[in-house]
């Protein structure tokens, strides 16, 4: 599968808001230009005052330049802050959408904790990249403009400064290289800690039950020394660069001032020009601002690289076909699917006639959930094809596919809205009447109605058992008509009576054409029209439950080799 071009990079040099970025660059450059004009104006005003000539106009110019510089600095601050916020928001929105489009493969590769670290911390750092890039021209314009101004006052002043320029350039180059490496290392260690913390939070009950909280804390924080070393290294690099520049720049400034003093003594420059030259020497040799900008740009580039790794994961591409009229016939042709290096499904051929219920059974690891995911294109096979009413799922539009196939899972995700919103979740929200009818079918209406706010209760405020959560997930699947309903172990937490009632209601419903049911109980398989027995990645047999029960291997799926009499 090819990667869409939009997924290969995060954003262009100007970011997602190029107009604002250009405006920031112009404002920053204008502020530098204003700062370059100010020493010349001050020098001219001083010369006039020393000569006893009227200097009101030049003093006014100086005041106007100071006011303009303050306004430009304020505008630069506002533009920089809003550009950072907008870019970060854009990155987080795009990264979230891409991770959801990639699906479980993103969490398998990077881990949930590392993904959160990239989405939160790295996106915020990468969001400063356009601002840092916009500031670099202004940071360069300051020394270059000051050098030109010194040359206009006297070429010897510029020559003194140019003598030390190669040393400063080498310092900046080494700083940029070392900073990039340190920042990348630091961000990788942050991701390791975040990934370990997410695993610990997900398994907190196991950790508490085992009394292993201290050991798990040590495991989560194991990368902390490496993180500390990377952080210290990063500040050492920046401190060394700042120290070296501080050692070199004042010598250049003193050299310029000394030469300017000699020129003053020889009446080649005025007192005001010497004042201006001393200020220009500070602007030309003051690389501290440039060091800060390069450090920020290095952090942003390293963070952008981590985001680009996620965005480079290929997303599922949809076609442009629609389904013809049909009962929901599901067909798998030579389907092979892997998880890592392991072949889970190997050349599976399976047909589910439209309007029937097929139960899929097999031992743990036989590939039942993977087959269910392939049936609704929550995953794609490595080889073979999955078809619905004769149309390959890959060729369907996104909306057509999601409108035709509904899923229910063993652990349904309730995303934070009200219970009515969660049950009605779909390409188009289900009506309140449809939501309540679906809840009754799933036997969820009783406990939802007992809540103080009923269906308006927020999911976070609705205490529920595992079985009640499954019933809400089933209600969500029942709330929309579909050609294919896939129940991936969605009845496992229900008691046998409730399971039998829901299964009876489901089999008698006409709102779902075909039903694919991942079953672990013999009673569930017995209620289906047919059963597909998965074993070793292949379909061993297909038939009625009572027919397959005569096979010892089939009975062992449910009884572990013992007759359940």
Token digits for 406?
Answer: 């509904």
Angle (CA) 99-128-282 rounded to 5° is 165
What is the tens place of the pLDDT at every residue in 54-111? Answer: 888 999 999 999 999 999 999 999 999 999 999 999 998 888 888 888 877 787 788 7
Rounded-to-integer distance, Cα 238 and Cα 176, Å = 9
- Residue 292: enclosing H or E segment and its boundaries? helix 288-311
Exposure on the CB side of residue 125, measured as CA atoms within 13 A: 22
Residues in the chain with pLDDT values less than 50 = 1-9, 561-565
Q: Are the C-beta atoms of 490 and 474 separated by less than 8 Å?
A: yes
Can you give the pLDDT at residue 483? 92
At 502, give phi and psi (nearest 5°).
-65, -40
Domains in the chain: ranges and CATH: 5-194+225-311 (1.20.1560.10), 330-559 (3.40.50.300)
Q: pTM higher than 0.75, yes or no?
A: no
Can you name the residues that pair with 310 across neighbouring β-strands? none
Instruction: Kindly give, in sequence order, each residue whose CB lies less than 8 Å from that of residue 245, ignoring residues fewer than 6 positions away.
Output: 168, 171, 287, 288, 291
Give the pairing type, strands 330-339 and 383-388. antiparallel
DSSP one-letter code for 561: T
Can you give the pLDDT at residue 168? 67
Rounded-to-integer distance, Cα 300 and Cα 308, Å = 12
Reference 468, options 486, 445, 485; nearest CA is 445
Rounded-to-integer distance, Cα 239 and Cα 235, Å = 6
What is 367-399 written as a DSSP string? SHHHHHHHHTTSS--SEEEEEETTEEGGGB-HH
Token digits for 256?
Answer: 């310029």
Can you give the pLDDT at residue 8? 41
- Using a CB cutoff of 8 Å and minimum separation of 24, what contacts does 198-206 make? 198/111, 198/112, 198/113, 198/116, 199/111, 199/112, 199/113, 202/112
What is the tens place of the pLDDT at every residue in 154-194? Answer: 898 888 877 766 766 666 666 666 666 777 777 778 788 88
Q: Are the C-beta atoms of 289 and 139 separated by less than 8 Å?
A: yes
Instruction: Kindly give, in sequence order, each residue whose CB lies less than 8 Å from that of residue 296, ignoring residues fewer than 6 positions away.
Output: 128, 132
């Amino acid at each position: 599968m090819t990667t869409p071009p939009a997924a290969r990079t995060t954003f262009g040099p100007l970011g997602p808001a190029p107009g604002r970025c250009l405006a920031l660059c112009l404002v920053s450059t204008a502020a530098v230009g204003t700062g370059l004009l100010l020493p010349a104006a001050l020098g001219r005003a001083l010369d006039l005052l020393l000569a006893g000539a009227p200097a009101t106009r030049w003093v006014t110019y100086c005041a106007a330049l100071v006011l303009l510089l303050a306004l430009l600095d304020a505008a630069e601050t506002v533009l920089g802050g809003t550009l950072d916020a907008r870019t970060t928001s854009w990155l987080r929105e795009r990264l979230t959408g891409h991770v959801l489009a990639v699906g479980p493969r993103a969490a398998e590769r990077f881990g949930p904790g590392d993904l959160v670290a990239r989405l939160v911390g790295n996106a915020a750092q990468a969001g400063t990249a356009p601002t840092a890039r916009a500031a670099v021209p202004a940071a360069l314009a300051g020394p270059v403009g000051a050098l030109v101004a010194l040359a206009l006052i006297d070429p010897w002043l510029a020559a003194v400064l140019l003598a030390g320029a190669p040393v400063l350039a080498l310092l900046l180059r080494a700083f940029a290289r070392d900073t990039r490496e340190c920042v990348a290392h630091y961000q990788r260690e942050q991701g390791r800690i975040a990934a370990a913390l997410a695993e610990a939070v997900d398994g907190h009950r196991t950790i508490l039950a085992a009394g292993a909280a201290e050991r798990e804390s040590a495991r989560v924080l194991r990368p902390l020394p490496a993180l500390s070393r990377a952080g210290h290294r990063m500040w050492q690099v920046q401190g060394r660069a700042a120290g070296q520049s501080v050692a070199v720049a004042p010598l250049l400034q003193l050299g310029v001032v000394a030469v300017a003093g000699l020129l003053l003594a020889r009446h080649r420059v005025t007192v005001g020009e010497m004042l201006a030259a001393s200020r220009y020497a500070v602007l030309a040799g003051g690389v501290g601002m440039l060091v800060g900008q390069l450090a920020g740009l290095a952090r942003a580039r390293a963070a952008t690289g981590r985001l680009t790794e996620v965005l480079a994961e290929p997303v599922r591409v949809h076609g442009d076909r629609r389904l013809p009229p049909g009962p929901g016939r599901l067909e798998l042709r030579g389907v092979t699917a892997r998880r890592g290096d392991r072949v889970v499904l190997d050349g599976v051929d399976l047909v589910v006639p439209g309007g029937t219920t097929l139960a899929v059974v097999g031992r743990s690891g036989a590939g039942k959930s993977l087959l269910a995911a392939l049936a609704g294109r929550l995953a794609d096979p490595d080889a073979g094809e999955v078809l619905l009413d004769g149309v390959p799922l890959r060729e369907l539009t996104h909306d057509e596919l999601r409108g035709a196939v509904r899923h229910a899972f063993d652990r349904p995700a309730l995303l934070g809205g009200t219970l009515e919103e969660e049950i009605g979740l779909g390409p188009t929200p289900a009506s309140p009447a449809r939501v309540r009818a679906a809840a009754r079918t799933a036997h969820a209406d009783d406990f939802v109605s007992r809540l103080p706010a009923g269906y308006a209760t927020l999911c976070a405020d609705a205490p529920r058992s595992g079985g009640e959560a499954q019933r809400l997930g089933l209600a969500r699947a029942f709330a929309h008509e579909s050609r294919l309903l896939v129940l991936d172990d969605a009845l496992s937490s229900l008691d046998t009576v409730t399971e039998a009632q829901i299964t009876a209601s489901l089999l008698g419903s006409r709102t779902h054409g075909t039903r694919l049911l991942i079953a672990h109980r013999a009673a569930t398989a017995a209620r289906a029209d047919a059963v597909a027995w998965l074993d070793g990645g292949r379909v061993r047999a297909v038939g009625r439950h009572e027919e397959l029960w005569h096979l010892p291997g089939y009975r062992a799926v449910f009884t572990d080799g013992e007759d359940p009499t």
